Chain A
């Protein structure tokens, strides 16, 4: 399932916002007194907006979709005589218990024993306490 990617990379957005807040908080005074950093309301507004945007950017970062786990469909082939086992990728036409040749070890019938999907388990969070 494909997700629409956000138009701006949230990391870049976050860095830009931090720079913006830093510039406004440490920058020189403007000629107009109402835009001066001495003006507490103006500074408060900018600070509030800056922090709000940083918070939103952080939320977007945290909400980033997890990358899908890599899945491989495997076919397990086993000798019916000596139990010699071989695993390969699934091929169209495979089914359980199809005979797919002879055992390289003893020459017995080589039969498909299992077909399953194996996936790398995602990083586990700490288990639920219940």
Chain B
């Protein structure tokens, strides 16, 4: 009598043997190696994401080189210089003693901005000012993609080498956010290489529409001011200098403007693109109080300081969009949102000021493709 009959009864055969052994093997394998199996599955997902990130990084680099060659007409091959540019670092100031850290930050950001502009000028000597700004934005987007790829690769390889379940798990959990950010930067590459307005340009676009037909004058580095009238109120509008890609220094510009005005303004309104929550519609407009401006925080600090100093009410109007939409070419919904925001700004002015008073409107954001 075969031994199987003793183990599994009379009706037993080789297939039921195989099924039961396979089942037992699966239970044991999952019991002892479950975590490793899980880690292997997560690692596979991270590897796929890394492959995509590398592709994005390489495409951004290629586009940068091609655009620099086309617009900058460098005498020698710019590839090495561009590769060096993509590896640039920014070391943040020490904040153990936080007093005065804003001004240290501001100083380092100014130096960074100037040195990057100089570097781009050296890489693309024939590029005009507006094009130079676009090239700088393009190279910055490529630099960010390069950084994202390097960070993800670092944590993946480190987690794999140390067999750290926690590092791989955290990286895997963050992947959707990382990929969303990376794909947003990839969208920006097209806009910056062609000089198209981006979603973040909603604020400058609003200002450009208000000032249409009038002249700007330069007030601070990369910032311009214009003067117009809305329903009997004198309105000063501020924006970054376009049509090259530029965000300027709105804090410095507002300080200079307020210090130079004879009549104290009754209101400062800031207009900016703001991140929408999931499920909200792109181009929706919201209003509130405070400094509507992103970035590291130095400009926000200056705006809050100066409006507090002069005791001027600070209002905010925001046009909602996602991160991807903010740095990708401007969508029609955002353009329509700007039209709605103009009406909202006019209503705020009507309700909070009297005729003959002065108002400042600051359009915050990247002014690429918008003069």
The residue in chain B whose Cβ has the minimal distance to the Cβ of A90 is B196
Residues of B in contact, count (CB < 8 Å):
33
Query: Which B residues are CB-close (under 8 A) to A80?
Result: 213
Q: In the assembled complex, which residues on chain B have CB atoms less than 8 Å from the CB atom of A4?
A: 51
**Cβ-based interface call for B365 (8 A):** no
Q: Is the CB of B195 within 8 A of A93?
A: yes
Residue of A80, A114, A118, A128 with highest tally of chain B CB at under 10 A? A114
Cβ–Cβ < 8 Å partners of A8 in chain B: none
In the complex, what residues of A have CB within 8 A of residue B194's CB?
90, 92
Please give, as numbers and ranges, the residues of chain A lying within 8 Å of B197 by CB-CB distance: 95-96, 115-116
Chain B residue numbers with a CB within 8 Å of A30 are: none
Interface pair A97/B329, CB less than 8 Å apart: no
Chain A, residue nearest B328 (CB):
A117
Flag if A97 contacts B208 (CB, 8 Å): yes
Q: Which of B15, B194, B208, B328 has most chain A Cβ within 10 Å?
A: B15
For residue A62, CB closer than 8 A to chain B, the reply is no
CB of B14 within 8 A of CB of A2, answer no
- Name B369's contact: one of A39, A96, A128 (CB within 8 Å): A96
* A residues in contact (CB < 8 Å) with B: 1-2, 4, 34, 39, 41-42, 44-45, 71, 73, 80, 90, 92-98, 114-119, 128
- A–B complex contacts, Cβ < 8 Å, 21 sampled: A4-B51, A39-B13, A41-B19, A73-B196, A90-B196, A92-B194, A92-B195, A95-B195, A95-B197, A95-B369, A96-B197, A96-B205, A96-B208, A96-B371, A97-B208, A115-B197, A115-B369, A116-B329, A116-B334, A117-B328, A118-B332
B-to-A contact residues, CB < 8 Å:
13-16, 18-19, 51-52, 55-56, 183, 186, 194-197, 205, 208, 212-213, 242-243, 279, 328-332, 334-335, 369-371
